[in-house]
Amino acid sequence: MNSSGAPLTLAGLLESLGAPLLTPLTGAQGLDASISVPVIHDQLDPLPEIPGGILLLVGVGPANPDLADLIGRAAENGFGAVVIKSHGREPDAAQLAGAGLPVLVVDDQVPWLHLDNLITAVTRGRPAGGRGAGAHGEDLFVLANALATATDGAVAIEDLDQNILAYSNLERHAVDPLRRSGILARQVPEMEKNAVQYRAVMLTDSVVHFPYDPLDGELPRCAAPVRAGRQMLGSIWVIEDKAPLGPDGEAAILEVARLAAIHILRSQNAVDLERQVRTEWLRSALEGHGSDPGTSARFGLMDGVAPVLLGFIFAPDPAGQRPSHALPLTRQLAIAAEQYCSIFHPNVSSVESGRMVYVLVPAIGTAQAAMRLAGGASTALAARLGFQVDVAVGSVEPGTPGLPELRKELEEVVQVLEVPGPRGAAGRVVGSRDVNAALLLDQLARILESRPRLLHPGVRELLEHDADSGTEYRASLSAYFAATGDVAAAARALNVHPNTLRYRIKRATELFGLDFSTGDEQLALWVQLRVAKPHASRPSPGRAQR
């Protein structure tokens, strides 16, 4: 779903990213099909079911004998397209045309992770740094071409991370291998001289000229910083193939830099606004507001594909206290948790709620995958933030989930996480199935608290007797039931003689009218002894000891 609300098609994606990044090998086949998210796939992993997904086949070239089978299984699992690299071999377009699924080839120099980021940016409706990246991205391309015309040289506009936001595409201008590599990857190639060049650009308010470099064939170029006031936003580069630019050319660069700053700021604000919208929408959805179809479209939830809701919370210290400056840290935790999960899954969203951060991963596949993601996140976030991070993992069930139910489940899991107990060096990662017994017993305790008449009268008398007389009937019977009737084992756990335990069990049946004759009776009594709150001691000096 793109930002306009209309389904994004494969043709729309190709138009947004533009050539020569992706080239369809199967003609117009399937280009009108709706697409959802990119999926980087390892042949050793099971192939997920992602309706409309774009399968990025890492390490699978045109000559791979498993290619046809992978494409066929991808079609069966609902994918909308497959992307491969040629690895220097010419793909057989005629053979791939019968694969039943559109096959695209990406340039070998483009990193898979970068391609994944670009496709994700388009599918999420965020600027992708390409022609179809939204109005502001298009405006930057217009500026780049206008400056290229004025200076008669190829132009590139970059951000602070050396991502290429826009570039001129006038064929008459000379380019070098470094320029071509940067355009293909949308990223300036890493080189030792980059730091020196960019430092020179950032420290000036004018235009800096760099001569031809015979070591790598880099053509002469000039550059100017892009600033908004004192805030550095990026830089503009122009190849000076014919002659160094004069005052008029430099003035044109500085004017375009001023205009580019406006568009970059607007683009950044649009990204921030989209993130804010997603955050507030997720908060509302977790609270039970909003329509299910709207929520599913916003977060990429699909029927038949299991999502997971993760709850991140700082672990308590040995004294049971959490970081004293937890509020600003919680914001950092939200950003870091979303960033980590986004490395492995698309369309991840997060929201803070009190001391906890919720992260929604719309497609996870299996409970095991969810636990691996949570475990890796706990370790990485602790290293980054300097505090142990506990993670509660919700249940993984296929189908569009009820987010309020998932949130309630996580809150119950967190209650179990907050129970004092031994801790290792790392944060705890707990799934709902890991604490199922604790959650069930907690619910039963709540029921007994709200409906005290359900408590067996004999159990009530037993608890009162223990509180008033200091006896240990509750502990004795609980150990007996826990040992499944093995008196010797229960006595060892209590550190008493087996005959002592037998006597206590016999006296409990006589004094409180308890019946152990059936399995149901034993189960009911054990649960009540396990979850009922202990009675406070009542002063009764004249009461006889039983």
Tell me how far apart the alpha carbons of residues 316 and 333 are, in angstroms, rounded to a whole number. Answer: 15
pLDDT tens digit sequence for 186-197: 778 888 888 889
Q: CA-CA distances (angstroms) from residue 349 to 281, 295, 357, 488?
A: 10, 12, 10, 54
Superfamily, domain 10-123: MurE/MurF, N-terminal domain (3.40.1390.10)
Q: Which CATH architecture has domain 452-531?
A: Orthogonal Bundle (1.10)
Q: What is the pTM of this model?
A: 0.48
Domain spanning 287-434: which CATH class is it, in words? alpha beta
Structure tokens at 478: 């609980």
Tell me how far apart the alpha carbons of residues 164 and 297 are, in angstroms, rounded to a whole number. Answer: 30
Q: Which helix (H) or strand (E) holds 180?
A: helix 177-185
Tell me how far apart the alpha carbons of residues 148 and 155 are, in angstroms, rounded to a whole number. Answer: 6
Tell me how far apart the alpha carbons of residues 487 and 510 are, in angstroms, rounded to a whole number. Answer: 18
Tell me how far apart the alpha carbons of residues 122 and 133 are, in angstroms, rounded to a whole number. Answer: 7
Q: Are strands 155-159 and 308-314 parallel, antiparallel or unpaired?
A: unpaired
Handedness of CA 380, 386, 388, 394 (dihedral sign): negative
Q: CA-CA distances (angstroms) from residue 135 to 118, 125, 157, 363?
A: 17, 12, 16, 30
Tell me how far apart the alpha carbons of residues 119 and 125 are, in angstroms, rounded to a whole number. Answer: 10
Contact 140, 163 (CB under 8 A): no
Tell me how far apart the alpha carbons of residues 19 and 36 are, in angstroms, rounded to a whole number. Answer: 20
Tell me how far apart the alpha carbons of residues 528 and 532 are, in angstroms, rounded to a whole number. Answer: 6
Q: Are strands 54-57 and 38-41 parallel, antiparallel or unpaired?
A: parallel
Q: Please report which residue ranges of 58-155 form alpha helices under DSSP H.
A: 67-76, 93-97, 112-123, 135-151
| Residues 515/519/523/524 CA torsion (nearest 10 deg) | -50
| Residues 400/405/411/416 CA torsion (nearest 10 deg) | -90
Residue with tokens 């930002």: 3
In degrees, to the nearest 5, what angle opens at C-alpha 383 toward C-alphas 381 and 389?
45
Residue 418: count other Cβ atoms within 10 Å of its Cβ.
14
Tell me how far apart the alpha carbons of residues 288 and 57 are, in angstroms, rounded to a whole number. Answer: 38
List CB contacts of 502: < 8 A, sequence separation 6 or more. Answer: 487
CA 212 to chain centroid, in Å, comes to 44
Q: At what angle do helices 473-482 and 487-494 cross, to 10 degrees?
A: 130
pLDDT at 46: 83
Contact 374, 310 (CB under 8 A): yes
Tell me how far apart the alpha carbons of residues 228 and 268 are, in angstroms, rounded to a whole number. Answer: 12
Q: Which CATH architecture has domain 135-268?
A: 2-Layer Sandwich (3.30)
Contact 443, 450 (CB under 8 A): no
Residue 217: count other Cβ atoms within 10 Å of its Cβ.
10
Structure tokens at 442: 């907690």
CATH 3.40.1390.10 domain residues, the chain? 10-123
pLDDT tens digit sequence for 186-243: 778 888 888 889 999 999 999 999 999 998 889 999 999 998 887 888 999 999 988 8
Minimal CA–CA distance to 259: which of 167, 111, 157, 356?
157
Tell me how far apart the alpha carbons of residues 124 and 131 are, in angstroms, rounded to a whole number. Answer: 16
Tell me how far apart the alpha carbons of residues 417 and 404 are, in angstroms, rounded to a whole number. Answer: 20
pLDDT at 209: 95
Edge to edge, the sheet with strand 356-361 lists: 349-353, 356-361, 308-314, 389-393, 429-431
Low-confidence ranges of the chain (pLDDT < 50): 1-5, 126-136, 325-327, 539-546
Q: Which helix (H) or strand (E) holds 17?
A: helix 10-17
Tell me how far apart the alpha carbons of residues 408 and 88 are, in angstroms, rounded to a whole number. Answer: 53
189 cis-preceded (ω within 30 degrees of 0):
no
CATH 1.10.10.2840 domain residues, the chain? 452-531
Structure tokens at 272: 């921030």
CATH 3.30.450.40 domain residues, the chain? 135-268
Contact 107, 91 (CB under 8 A): no
pLDDT at 138: 63
Q: What is the percent of the chain where pLDDT is above 70?
A: 81
DSSP per residue, 241-308: SSS---HHHHHHHHHHHHHHHHHHHHHHHHHHHHHHHHHHHHHHHHTT-S-HHHHHHHHT--TTS--E
